[in-house]
A and B are shown apart, each in its own frame.
Chain A
Amino acid sequence: MKGGKLEAAAPWLVTLALLVVWQAICSVFDVSDFIFPSPYTIALSLVQYAGPIAGHAWQTFWTTMIGFAIGVVVGLALGVAIGTSRFVYKGLYPLLVAFNAIPKVAFVPILVVWFGIGSVPAVLTAFLISFFPIVVNVATGLATLEPELEDVLRSLGATKFDILWKVGLPRSLPYFFASLKVSITLAFIGTVVSETVASNQGIGYLMMSAGSSMRMPLVFAGLAVIGVMAMAMYELFAVLERRMTRWAHRGDLS
């Protein structure tokens, strides 16, 4: 029981320890705030600029969520297509792998030409970066269906859709939810990358403009906000995963 409590407190303890060490280094060596701000000055600027930060954070949050939502829909559709059809798999998979290898920041200038500065490039960058893990995971879940089970169902006259609906999709749910956790954090990366290059709103933009006026504590405050948002969403999807696919995590049921 005691071990369990300690485990639950571990992330907080480690974070606290990190902040204390960080603060100590900054104070003892008298590091300039322009180079490496201490946690205390970062906290101060978080409070001082709470209003603008919240506005920019909200902007980043909703563009990320829209991009991520599109990524989920497209990722699911492509994953199902690749996982159920050998032809689509052979045809599309190499292209997708090639696409995934391109740094998504390289797309931002193109998106800006097409859609101008603003939220649209950010949404699309978040989408482009987040859909790939979903495709791979859903396709893997579908492709690892036991052939015997398929025989059982087919001998009863099951259609391809029956098999997909009754067996394939439920089977790939744990893979799907696992990929959501990865994808949501990637989506934040996409949005912020796009905002730093091509936007006048959002945390990425805030950090860029704060950096150019040498307000380093505010830049770090932006980093902290992104980290907290991504972590919160990751945890949300982790909880959702455990709820939806209890059967796949039977080890932790008791």
Chain B
Amino acid sequence: MEHQLAHQHSAHAPVKADPKQGQQHPLGIYFVVWGLLFVLSTFSYLVDYFNFEGFSRWFLILSFMWLKAGLIVAVFMHMRWERLALMYAILVPPVLLGVLVMLMSIESDYTFWTRIIFFGLQPAPTIGE
């Protein structure tokens, strides 16, 4: 019985989600995302290869990065098909990291200028050199 069921499963493309089991989606979407990730990675590599500088560099790098991350989480990790309760529990807390990044960028700016004021542009004395 179990085997017969298993056979039926592989015979027809199982597009419909089995309510008892996890995520099932047509294979096509995985190939599309796989392809997109390749294209986006190639683009971000080309940003370096063609030496984009300044604003366009970080804008392009960050855009491709977020697109890739979004595709992986949404489709490969099936987040777009999960319940909102799980989605928010996982995706909202990392937003707090923005606070850490902000604090540390203020802190590093302070350290940078302290070093400039006290050591000038000379290499700061380092231990073990």
A and B associate: no
Q: Give A contacts to B, CB under 8 Å.
A: none
